[in-house]
Structure 1
């Protein structure tokens, strides 16, 4: 791929213009990707959640 500009003649409303087309180059660098932390496994999630001894029952007035 060359980095040279190209001159073109265009006509708009019976008037001729000369335009310069320049190449568009990506402005990125090839940095190594930084990955997000992996999601916890189901077992790890259960370890972090406080244990529930007994679910509230409607008979006890739970809503």
Structure 2
């Protein structure tokens, strides 16, 4: 599957959290770390999907 790379504003539209919260999560969760290119940060759509699929599975098994 081809991956898309999203800018922070696109990520925040998808998951509805603040910038500060996204960066806090990125410090804790390896899958949510951005890719740095020059002075910009980009997030992998595949990594975001994988992370949230994992959260769904945890909630379903709890």
Please report the TM-score for the alignment, with normalisation by the length of structure 1: 0.20
Q: Bigger radius of gyration, 1 or 2?
A: 1
**Relative to total residues, which structure has the larger strand share, 1 or 2?**
1
Please report the TM-score for the alignment, with normalisation by the length of structure 2: 0.21
Larger RCO: 1 or 2 (CA < 8 Å, sep 6+): 2
